[in-house]
Amino acid sequence: MPHSSESDPHGFKRRGLLFVLSSPSGAGKSTIARKLLAAEAALDMSVSATTRAPRPGEVDGKDYHFVDLERFRAMVADNAFLEWAHVFDHRYGTPRAPVEALLAAGRDVLFDIDWQGAQQLHQIAGGDVVRVFILPPSMEELRQRLVSRATDSVEIINARMARAANEVSHWDSYDYVLVNDDVETCFQQVRTIFHAERLKRSRQTGLIGFIRSMMKTG
Ligand code: 5GP
């Protein structure tokens, strides 16, 4: 994984973060991701590829790269994914090249991926990955949110509820677990985590140089 060369005002270089947000669909993750991207200038979203059909309003290349199964398989064969997984009846994957380019350019990268993706990213990028899981206040509330979104049929909503229970069962493989009772509060919590993780000593790769020169001038 290439590392960030971005410096802070003191000249510390730091390693870029791979910031993962997971949750059952309907728990508010996309709203929080959108708010975080708007608030954080050095953060970019990883746009996944998927074999599922676009929902109304979804834009190819922005929400997802919508590809057919043949194309997806070719990308797997070319090692073009950092991670990929079967989710519902479809395949989803994180294209490798854009993420590597962003990290090399000193950016942090946000991922909206499931627990399988979070696990795979953690295996390949370990300490550079921060995994945040967002829970709905209750399963009933989750169903309400899926129904009011009105983009999916009852069958799909039932399948998503079953899938949600499975997704929630992986809560303990995350670094942080939050309950989204109130979207603004939850967003502020996610932002606090993001800021604190950026400041971790292990990510400030230029600290030794800074401290040496600081001691010289004392
Ligand atoms: P949706 O179809 O509702 O957009 O997404 C379904 C699920 O797939 C969500 O839990 C989302 O986080 C997950 N997902 C989206 N993109 C990826 C990806 O690139 N990799 C993995 N592993 N999961 C993804």
pLDDT band, very low/low/confident/very high, at 194 (cuts 50, 70, 90): very high
**How much of the chain, in percent, has pLDDT values that exceed 90?**
68
CA–CA–CA angle 177, 22, 161 (5° rounding): 100
Q: What does the pLDDT look like over 150-190, one tens digit per residue?
A: 777 888 889 889 989 999 999 999 999 999 999 999 999 99
Which atom of ligand 1 approaches the CA of 29 most closely?
12
What tokens appear for 16 in the block? 């870029």
Q: 132 φ, ψ to 5°?
A: -120, 130
Question: Which is more confidently placed, 85 or 55?
Answer: 85
**How much of the chain, in percent, has pLDDT values that exceed 70?**
93
Q: What does the pLDDT look like over 133-150, one tens digit per residue?
A: 999 999 999 898 888 877
Going along the chain from its start, the domains and CATH numbers come out as 2-46+108-217 (3.40.50.300)
pLDDT value at residue 201: 85
Residue 78 has pLDDT above 50, yes or no: yes
pLDDT value at residue 25: 80
Strands 108-112 and 90-95, bridge-based pairing: unpaired
Nearest-CA residue for ligand 1 atom 16 is 113
Q: What does the pLDDT look like over 34-59, one tens digit per residue?
A: 999 999 999 999 999 999 999 889 99
**Cα 177 to the chain's mean position, in Å?**
14
Distance 192 CA to ligand 1 centre (A): 24
Task: In whole angstroms, give the CA distance from residue 127 to residue 91.
Answer: 26
- Ligand 1 pocket check for 197: Cβ under 6 Å: no
8 Å CB contact between 91 and 84: yes
pLDDT value at residue 7: 45
Residue with tokens 């800074």: 210
DSSP, residue by residue, 109-159: EEEE--HHHHHHHHHHHGGGEEEEEEE-S-HHHHHHHHHHH--S-HHHHHH
- Ligand 1 pocket check for 19: Cβ under 6 Å: no
- Ligand 1 pocket check for 81: Cβ under 6 Å: no
Name, in order, each residue with C-beta under 8 angstroms of 69's C-beta and a sequence gap of 6 or more.
51, 91
Predicted model pTM: 0.90
